[in-house]
Structure 1
Amino acid sequence: MLTQPISGMKPGTSGLRKKVTDFQRPHYLANFVQSIFNAVRPADGFAGKTLVLGGDGRFFNAEAAQLILKMAAANGFARVLVGQGAILSTPAASCVIRRHGAFGGIILSASHNPGGPEGDFGIKFNAANGGPAPEAMTEAMYAASQTLTEYHVLEAPDVDLTRLGPTALGAMTVEVISPVDDYVALMASLFDFPALRALFAGGFRLRFDAMHAVTGPYARAIFEEALGAPAGTVMNGTPLPDFGGHHPDPNLVHAHELLALMMGPDAPDLGAASDGDGDRNLIIGRGIFISPSDSLAMLAANAHLAPAYAQGISGIARSMPTSGAADRVAAALGVPVYETPTGWKFFGNLLDAGRVTICGEESAGTGSHHVREKDGIWAVLLWLSILARRGQSVQQIAQEHWFTYGRNYYTRHDYEEIDAAAAAQLMAGLRARLPALPGATVAGRLVATADDFSYLDPVDGSQSKQQGLRVVLADGSRIVYRLSGTGTAGATLRVYIEQYEPDAARLDLPVQEALAPLIAAAESLADIRALTGRTEPSVIT
């Protein structure tokens, strides 16, 4: 099919995300899919190769899957493994790629972004290791999209994706697989399911909010069926194309129903949630929210309590904006810690090389070497394993952790859908002022360093520049500014504020109160109000 380049097809931190209406434009989806195939095609083509396909079930998921199947056939793939109903959570897709030795996979998701006809859609390619395409590969996709003149698609009826088993599509085989079976088997190999069944049999109560997104079937299969948690443990468990009209982002704003329950008089022992495609997680104990940065640190400190990690961990990796809480755990364990740019793809080389076992990001993603994606249900299962072995509450575990390591007070302020030009001006202005900041004072504290974070991959030597502006104070406190790569309208400015507190008498302060002077300084330093017109953040986590 003849076509011509379409502008703006540059993948962000996790693929290409745009409005549904963009993907519905003539040739738009086909152009990007062909750009993927052109960028990753081996010298001998796709003959004999297997592709994995699935998504989070959001609006346009089914239509996109049918087109991709016909294009895979026309481009010479031998087989496509596709989740029943074109469904696969992002960690499950990574699991299937690795378990079946696939060439790679296409995942249809805009993660935690809203769905529906006026919502967002996304598509990304995961490589043979199960992880998101590295930067060199996404740059090749973008370059291919700029010169594209044709795409290949097989003229054929749609494939019945409701029926398990193989179907011929031209010379290619489409094999419809259970979306959950491979993933459940992997989780059973990592965790002591009999011990977790005993935990629930003893009266332990979990409430898991699937947010009408993809994890509903996975959560029911694991928590309610395999582990014996009571029916109703999984709330909002039916996946819907528009996520029930809600925003499937597991934070304290969008998971307010779960938060209210966990802060109430009859709260369960553990509250958890996952997002649109199942790779993020929210952890709330009875009366206490565990920030993603703290959750990473606590999981790393206690991972040995689960069978898969009983021999210890080789290292920890965290994204640069994530708090330094995990660094203190790594030091205590005597293992290395790696600071990477935001985006799970940067963890792939470290995991493949065996340098790290546990990874995490402040944006509610944690995972390990079992797949090459962050994994929401895995994080909940590891928390359950820790709770079962230690016999303590979430709050007791958190307080003991802070008493042992100190507490990194931490918050993220998001300014969503601000004018893109204003956001660029803000970042450029602040970047220009960075060299003059060391030696100055911010919030009454001396600035030690200020830079634009760059990362040199210790495995392959690749370098990534301009990954976030850092202002580090002499006492170790930090303010970090970066523009998010996951939005689809305007720009999202994210400001991260962190302060380490070693004093055991000051470990229970309200987070925003503890950080108030730094929060005010962060707004003033970047002229946020003047340049964006915003008087407060859209979301605070």
Structure 2
Amino acid sequence: MINTVSTTPFEGQKPGTSGLRKKVSVFQQPRYVDNFVQSIMDCLDGTEGATLVVGGDGRFFNREAIQIVIRMAAAKGFGRIVVGRGGILSTPAASNLIRKLKAFGGIVLSASHNPGGPEGDFGIKYNVGNGGPAPEKVTDAIYARTQTVDRLAYEDAPDVDLDRIGETQVGGATVAVIDPVADYQALMETLFDFDRIRALFASGFRMRFDAMSAVTGPYAKAILEGALGAPAGTVVNGTPLPDFGGHHPDPNLVHAKELYDLAMSADAPDLCAASDGDGDRNLIIGKGLSVTPSDSLAVLAANAHLAKGYAQGISGVARSMPTSAAADRVAAAKGINIFETPTGWKFFGNLLDAGLVTICGEESAGTGSNHVREKDGLWAVLLWLDILAARRESVAQIVREHWATYGRNYYSRHDYEEVASEGANALMAGLRGALPALKGKRFGALEVANADDFAYHDPVDGSDSKNQGVRILFADGSRLIYRLSGTGTAGATLRVYIDRYVADPAQHGLDTQDALADLIALSRDLAGIARHTGRTEPSVIT
């Protein structure tokens, strides 16, 4: 039986680049989750008898939200609702299931790399039938509905036992609780040479994978320590916890400092790697050398043909605008497509669906390919392992040879987190106002070749996305980029990206921050960061 109750809208339920994210306490308000999920349901047509995939990263409030989604999806008329056991599904695993099952779509309960626990963050994201995040026209419609939603519809049914694999009827819908790892592992076995990687581990290759007490623990244990034969203990922090064990589940050099220190130690493993809260980001550190996400994308694109799933070569590469131009040089050398898109994985979906690109990446530790429509942290780690197994060289050797071949992009991101929104918006407005006068201006040895507010025209569907970040492009190939992030839940996060290309191999051994020192100083002065934000130093440097 379907129960219908009245409701009134909440303000501010506007999905960002990765769905709706707020503090847990906001989502715990009566009807808050319900209103947003109902707004999603109200924007979906043709769901009668269709399949919906549901899962999340196991963070606090995950299970309660899933029960609401199940009852509302059943009331909407979905015929089958597929849920990961324990409510667990990594974001790339959810994307794979949507595609494999030809599902109508999916709802992912996650705030990705944001902290968890009762005082942490929560999020809800809708993915469409290709497995990717909903495009802007869908999220805009959902937001519009949140402003007018007036009734909530639920199937009257008890909670589903999320810990027992099997099927349960909820009204007219069959709820199937499944092993969250099996289908994803099967996909990985089609892409990579598991025998070759097993032989690598058998030869004495050592690895440490930090799952950060987040969703990829079960996946990494099953694949790395199970199927690939890595020694027990290779995966650490492998049990998903509602508060991520107190960790900040963002795989960067600040929040994964213990892993970085291990990689730089005398007894370092051959590879250290990590993934984030929902499994879509990755960190790659070789013995004595940390690989930036931008460089990782370029190296993977250059070597993907070594993996059996990409043996025929790749059609192209896409990168988010703030990502360094390292991948562009690989694409130019290989004569394949290169696309520069706004930040947000949804912008890669059309390119992947059209076959214009095979591998995509963004500087915020996200890399993926056409196997799903989300970035995929464990996939990136497995591709690195397959390349290492094929080449039998160290991470450092492979990266340094890549720099010698293509040149090096010294690259860093400086984040100013939770700054006052008013000051951050004023800073961006000031930069946009200064753009017309910047072209041709000199700052010491640096000459501005061009300056703009990045806009993207989608070559597949013809849509336009404007105001995606301020770019200052210098004549020597250096870049400064400013944008406000849409992934935080408090105040604003100003991200400043600093990029310098150096062709000369003799100059490839510099410390990154030293190599970028003049650009870093200019980035702060040019935008008036201290004046607008009150911050003299960034919160995080990656």
TM-score range, shorter chain: over 0.9
Structure 2 Cα separation of the partners of residues 339 and 530 of structure 1? 31
The alpha-carbon deviation at position 154 of structure 1 amounts to: 1.9
The alpha-carbon deviation at position 350 of structure 1 amounts to: 0.2
Q: Secondary structure at the match of 1:284?
A: strand
The alpha-carbon deviation at position 347 of structure 1 amounts to: 0.2
The alpha-carbon deviation at position 441 of structure 1 amounts to: 1.4
Residue 151 of structure 2 corresponds to which residue in structure 1? 150
Residue 110 of structure 2 corresponds to which residue in structure 1? 109
Residue 177 of structure 1 corresponds to which residue in structure 2? 178
Residue 134 of structure 1 corresponds to which residue in structure 2? 135
Residue 37 of structure 2 corresponds to which residue in structure 1? 33
Find 1:10's aligned residue among 7, 14, 19: 14
Structure 2 Cα separation of the partners of residues 479 and 88 of structure 1? 37
The alpha-carbon deviation at position 246 of structure 1 amounts to: 1.2
The alpha-carbon deviation at position 100 of structure 1 amounts to: 0.7
Deviations 1:38-68 (A, max 9, x none): 12x21xx421100000000000000000111
The alpha-carbon deviation at position 176 of structure 1 amounts to: 0.5
Residue 434 of structure 2 corresponds to which residue in structure 1? 433
Residue 60 of structure 1 corresponds to which residue in structure 2? 61
Q: Is 2:106–2:128's contact at 8 Å kept on the other side of the alignment?
A: yes
Deviations 1:237-269 (A, max 9, x none): 111000011100000000011001100010000
- Whether 2:196 is the aligned partner of 1:192: answer no
Residue 285 of structure 2 corresponds to which residue in structure 1? 284
Residue 267 of structure 1 corresponds to which residue in structure 2? 268
Amino acid of the structure 1 residue aligned with 2:133: P
Write out aligned runs for 1:16-415 (5 A): 16-39=20-43, 41-42=44-45, 45-415=46-416
Amino acid of the structure 2 residue aligned with 1:23: F
Amino acid of the structure 1 residue aligned with 2:21: R
Structure 1 Cα separation of the partners of residues 443 and 489 of structure 2? 33
Q: 1:122 to 1:220 in 2, by over 3 A?
A: same
Q: Secondary structure at the match of 1:408?
A: strand
- Whether 2:443 is the aligned partner of 1:442: answer yes
Structure 1 Cα separation of the partners of residues 505 and 239 of structure 2? 44
Write out aligned runs for 1:475-486 (5 A): 475-486=476-487
Q: Is 1:79–1:173's contact at 8 Å kept on the other side of the alignment?
A: yes
Q: Secondary structure at the match of 1:450?
A: strand
Q: Secondary structure at the match of 1:107?
A: strand
Structure 2 Cα separation of the partners of residues 393 and 443 of structure 1? 39
The alpha-carbon deviation at position 343 of structure 1 amounts to: 0.3
Structure 2 Cα separation of the partners of residues 74 and 9 of structure 1? 22
Structure 2 Cα separation of the partners of residues 247 and 442 of structure 1? 38
Equivalent pairs: percent with the same residue? 70
Structure 2 Cα separation of the partners of residues 340 and 72 of structure 1? 33
The alpha-carbon deviation at position 443 of structure 1 amounts to: 4.5
The alpha-carbon deviation at position 349 of structure 1 amounts to: 0.2
Q: Is 1:443–1:521's contact at 8 Å kept on the other side of the alignment?
A: no
Q: Is 1:443–1:517's contact at 8 Å kept on the other side of the alignment?
A: no
Residue 537 of structure 2 corresponds to which residue in structure 1? 536
The alpha-carbon deviation at position 444 of structure 1 amounts to: 2.9
Q: Secondary structure at the match of 1:151?
A: strand
Deviations 1:357-409 (A, max 9, x none): 00000000000000000000000000001111111100000110000000000
Amino acid of the structure 2 residue aligned with 1:11: P
Amino acid of the structure 2 residue aligned with 1:162: D
Structure 1 Cα separation of the partners of residues 257 and 477 of structure 2? 32
Amino acid of the structure 2 residue aligned with 1:186: L
- Whether 2:492 is the aligned partner of 1:488: answer no
Amino acid of the structure 1 residue aligned with 2:358: T
Structure 2 Cα separation of the partners of residues 139 and 446 of structure 1? 40
Q: Secondary structure at the match of 1:409?
A: strand
Structure 2 Cα separation of the partners of residues 164 and 442 of structure 1? 63
Structure 1 residue runs without a partner (length 5+): none
Structure 2 Cα separation of the partners of residues 394 and 297 of structure 1? 14
Amino acid of the structure 1 residue aligned with 2:490: A
Structure 2 Cα separation of the partners of residues 317 and 434 of structure 1? 26
Deviations 1:249-306 (A, max 9, x none): 0000000110011000100000000000000000000000000000000000000000
Q: Is 2:419–2:533's contact at 8 Å kept on the other side of the alignment?
A: yes
Deviations 1:321-356 (A, max 9, x none): 000000000001100100000000000000000000
TM-score by length of 2: 0.99
Q: Is 1:17–1:120's contact at 8 Å kept on the other side of the alignment?
A: yes
Q: Is 2:156–2:171's contact at 8 Å kept on the other side of the alignment?
A: no
Q: Secondary structure at the match of 2:413?
A: strand
Q: Secondary structure at the match of 1:153?
A: strand
Q: Is 1:50–1:77's contact at 8 Å kept on the other side of the alignment?
A: yes
Q: Secondary structure at the match of 2:489?
A: coil
